Amino acid sequence: MSDDGEPGHRGLWKSGLWAFLAAIAMLGWVAWRNLAEDTGTGAFSTLDGVASEGERAAAGRLLTDAYAVLRSPAFGDALRGFERAYPAVYARDAAQDLSPARVADIVDLKPFGSRYAPAQVDIVDESPVLLAAAGEGGVSGRYSGIEVSRPVLAAYASDNVVRRSCAINVAAHEYAHTISLTPVGFHVAFTDTNAERRSIANRLNPDSPVASYLIGATAQCVWLAKQGRIGRDEIATCVQVFGVRAFNWDRCSQFAPGEAVAPKPGIAKEAPPL
């Protein structure tokens, strides 16, 4: 019995608590459904804007390759190896000093409820200045959106393996922006800049790596090691070449076949840090 003499279930009904509990249950069901569906989505849910079936196939291969690297044990191992080199990593405004191991855990979806929001990908005609973009999709945080420019697809089609790897960097970087820390809504794990804001505001440590760029460069160099182009002991140097505070795109075509992917005289300047 309740204090006013009513049976407990009638008191619960009249209090409105049942509606609150029902809402919580519904939210939990939606969260579980999102996680279950997102787990099987893979590299992308839709791929639009392609000019031909050949371009569709090439874009699909790029996206699949980049996503596979991020989900591989080799990627997590490489990222965790930067604990001494990069003890504090900028992830987003509210998380500016994550360890590389914590970044790796998020990419590996170890935080409860985290997910890759299914990517709706568009291939676009843009200048090389805007290589790609990603963020929340158009359905209330259910999906993410990625745009990949044709200069990135051209790099992926190159005979030069290092230049091809730069496309992996770009795609992996954008996938970092599709990771949500919650199964409902879109609580993005990693942020950097956008078209209106070309630098990161409120940086507590401007010299720290930016997680999305560290993720992209690490994925690029792990992929190069998988291709046999560099040794696994050369991944750290390769990451340094392509940048962890911005992407050094101008260096992508500066390494001849068999040449060490390492700093060298005459190499293009670093991109301004973000």
Looking at residue 3, its amino acid is D
Same domain for 200 and 120?
yes
Specify whether the CB–CB gap between 189 and 108 falls below 8 A.
no
Asked whether residue 69 is domain-assigned, the answer is: yes
**Residue 147 belongs to a domain:** yes
Within a domain: 125: yes
**Alpha carbon separation from 155 to 21, 105, 241 (Å, rounded):** 53, 29, 17
State the Cα–Cα distance between residues 58 and 54, nearest whole angstrom. 6
Query: Residue 196: which domain range?
Result: 44-251
The verdict on residue 265 lying in a domain is no
Same domain, 81 and 18: no
- pLDDT tens string, the chain, 274 residues long: the values are 334 445 555 554 555 554 544 554 554 545 556 655 666 567 899 999 999 999 999 999 999 999 999 999 999 999 999 999 999 999 999 999 999 999 999 999 999 989 999 999 999 997 656 799 999 887 666 889 999 999 999 999 999 999 999 999 999 999 999 999 998 888 999 999 876 777 888 889 999 999 999 999 999 999 999 999 999 999 999 999 999 999 999 999 999 999 999 999 999 999 998 8
Do 72 and 108 sit in the same domain of this protein? yes
Residue 32 domain-assigned? yes
Per the domain annotation, does 262 fall within a domain? no
For residues 32 and 61, state if they share a domain. no
- Residue 215 identity: I
Side chain identity, residue 74? A
271 in any annotated domain: no
